[in-house]
Amino acid sequence: MKNGLSILFFILICNCTRAQGIFFPAPNELYGQLYIDVQSSGIFPDSKTFVDCTSRMDPGIILGDYESADKNTLDLKQFVVDHFRIPADPPVFNYVQQEKDLSKHIQNLWSVIRREASGNYDPMGSLLETPYPYIVPGGRYREIHYFDSYFTMLGLKTAREDEMLPNMIDNLTDAINRYGYIPHGFRTYYLSRSQVPFYCMMIELLAEMKGESVYVKYLPAMEREYAYWMEGAKELKPGQAYKRVVRLKDGTYLNRFWDEFDIPRAENYTEDVAVVERAISDFLQQKTFLSEQDKNKSVDSLRSALYRHIRSAASSGADFGNRWFTDEKSMNVMETTDILPVDLNALMLKMESVIAKARKLIGVQNPMVGIYKRSDFNTIFWNERLGYYTDFHHLKNKKMVRITLAGMYPFCFEIEQLKSQQIKAQKASSVLKEKLLKPGGLISFEKKSDSSLVGPFGFASLQWLSIVGLNRCGQSQLANEISNRWMKLNEDIYLRTGKLLEKYDVEEKSVPKYNRFSVQDGFGSTNGVYLALKQKIGMQEEKNK
């Protein structure tokens, strides 16, 4: 046998790591220099293509073949084709638009973006075990994604897909039981982080269908996810931070986004390396007075910090934007882990309240006992000068002034008495109309930046949360306006292209003009939100008759 590990050894690794709670090996860990060479070569336009491949043979044999190959004459792409099964890029749905009515099209599309249970984890690829059928977002996203799943479920519930919605939740529950949390996506390379915790809200959706016994059934999983987000909290002293928890100087706790690794994301390798190397080049030009030894130390520190900031920002579920950029312009300088995100902390409060409700149902007398004391949410996150909720910079100990749709999350939940929330919502409505409302809906960030990922883009998920929050807090007129603009944009693009997209240009009311990836077509969360909004409109029309 050629140099390298046998498939049996890889299986033993996977079994051992599962038992010890350690990550499954990702493609970068399995293939080392081959992984770096492929990702750096540009033979695939999308970095995610290679890490979604499945090997045709023992990974150890592949490594041996690559080590012994003459790199001067090697056709790298042909080597990959010979040794791996390559997914379609961009993915082909083999589905042609036939319906003029968008709702009917979405209903027919469920079977197209449905995937069957994947069986046991296969070390020949990166796809994690998925014991039940599931819906993928679409496009380059060929696996379950945590954040998108909630908004997909809204559509499944509306469409009365009564088996698929529980299946989706049970897949996520299985992940909590296996790993202690829900990974960003169901691939080995996503296991270093989670995303904004919508699991408790998924349980609420299911409880609306099947009754309150659902809360009791899924309580252990909710508590385990909560423990993941609060890991290390008990050992923190005031002013300290560990992974996803920050303890403020007054002794209370808040949360931040955090990724376990400080290397390029496997699924965005080329883009991440380009950003970081550009940042290092800028840094070295400015730090000419440093010794060579100090330069190297500083460069290593900068590289690690920036990769972690980039990876951690992906936990938000939204595109990168000036929200995370120190200068509000460029990815070259980021501060994600220094920021206490308003959306994450609003959802943590929601998680605590749902857990308390479930505990109460099983007879716990003090259902909030054991849940950490938190600072007054409005003291930290409400910016009275702006009239809007913003993030908080815990190192600088000050409110931030960046207007993003993350500031609409708190209006969806019982953060304080409803009357007080209604007053704040009235002020926030003025901010939305002035800063974020465009002809096709709401943009995610107020300011544009140098990143190609940031533009006048609208996402279904953030439209939905904004609409729900505004309706809940007495701003129904603006909520209806956003809903109408967004749905009209979805319908117009569908009639022109036959597609439902991950994101839309809400200024130009068009398909986004960006060149990072092919347009993401599918699209689970967009489908779900459209159906849910249409149902809301129908219910309102029925009520007004």
What are the residue numbers of the active site?
A: 319, 502
Q: Is 435 helix (H, G, I), strand (E, B) or coil?
A: helix
Q: Of how many residues is the chain composed?
A: 545
What is the rounded CA–CA span in Å between residue 342 and residue 488? 29
Q: Which residues contact 237 (CB under 8 A, 6 or more apart)?
A: 247
Nearest Cα neighbor of 129 from 73, 83, 186 is 186
Whether the Cβ atoms of residue 223 and residue 377 lie closer than 8 Å to each other: no
**Region for residue 88 given its phi and psi (left: phi exceeds 0; alpha: psi -120 to 50; beta: otherwise):** beta
What is the rounded CA–CA span in Å between residue 15 and residue 22? 10
Q: How far is CA 8 from CA 32, 58, 59, 188, 333, in A?
A: 19, 9, 10, 18, 44
- SS3 for 395-408 is CCCEECCCCEHHHH
Q: Which residues contact 46 (CB under 8 A, 6 or more apart)?
A: 89, 90, 140, 517, 518
How big, in percent rounded to 5, are the helix, strand and coil portions of the chain? 50, 10, 40
Whether the Cβ atoms of residue 458 and residue 506 lie closer than 8 Å to each other: yes
Residue 107 has which token pair? Answer: 């209903």
What does R_g of the chain's alpha carbons equal in angstroms? 23
Q: What are phi and psi of 429, to 5 degrees?
A: -60, -40
